[in-house]
Structures are given as C-alpha cells and as structure tokens.
Amino acid sequence: MKDLVWDKTLSVDVPEIDADHRRLLELFNRLGHAVEDGEPQAVIEATLDELISCTAWHFQHEERQMEKHGYPDLPAHRAEHAELIESGQALLEALRQSGAPLSAQQIASLEHWLTGHIYGSDMAMGTYLAEAT
C-alpha cells in the first residue's frame, strides 16, 4: 500500500486545519501499515477507532471555526461530517463483526473517505475562512 503524502494540493489555506489533516493522513498510513504488516486484529481495530475519533474531533474543530466566522454552508458541511462519521463507524462495526483485517478495497474506500471531503467541501470552507481570518 502506498502511503498518503500530504502536499499543497491538499492545503485548504488554513494552517491549523491543514495541521489536523496531516495528522489524519498519518493515522491513515499507520492503519495501512498495520494491515500490511499483519498486525493483530485488535491493533487494526484500535487504529481505525483512533482514526475515526480523531476525525470526529477534527470535524468539531472545523465546525467551531465555521460557526465563529458565519460560514453560510455550515449546515450542509456539518451534514457531510455526520455522514462520514456514520460510515466510518459502520466500517469499524463491519470489521469487528468479520474479525478479518481490512481488504484492499476497504482501504481504498477509506482513502476516498478521508481525501474526498478535503478535496471537496473543505476547499470551499478554507477559501472562505482564509478570507475571513
């Protein structure tokens, strides 16, 4: 599995949000390595759990920033966050039920789960916040 590398194309132009995103990418890479290295299932589950918890914490951080600066698309952005957390938790639940490590397809969908939102809604949010701050 190829590591995700943070670069300028992922920057939303708000340094503290970029710093969170880098951390999430690192956690994603750690999860990929755990699967690749055949770590015990408990380690894989705990790492995915940590990725989801950190993402939830980070989403609250973004939402506070959007609230503070009166971001007009906050309701839609918040709804997208809720959906992402829900799908992340569904994946964790499926993992716990199956007792099998993540498949290559699940890792690929998790990569999209992580970067799709950054490349999409977060860019618009970042442009707004960078101007507002």
* Chain contacts with Fe ion (rule: CB under 5 A): 62, 122
Tell the smallest beta-carbon distance from residue 38 to Fe ion (Å). 33
Distance set, CA 85 to CA 39, 59, 127 (Å): 24, 9, 24
- Label residues 98-129 b or e (16+ Cβ within 10 Å = b): eeebbeeebbeebbebbbebbeebbbebbebb
- Closest to Fe ion by CB, 45 vs 62, is 62
Report the nearest approach of Fe ion to the CB of residue 68 (Å). Answer: 15
- Tokens 């039920």 correspond to 97
Closest CB to Fe ion among residues 1, 78: 78
Choice between 18 and 62, CB closer to Fe ion: 62
Minimum Å gap between C-beta 73 and Fe ion is: 10
Closer residue to Fe ion in complex, CB, 21/34: 21
C-beta of 58: minimal distance to Fe ion in Å?
Answer: 8
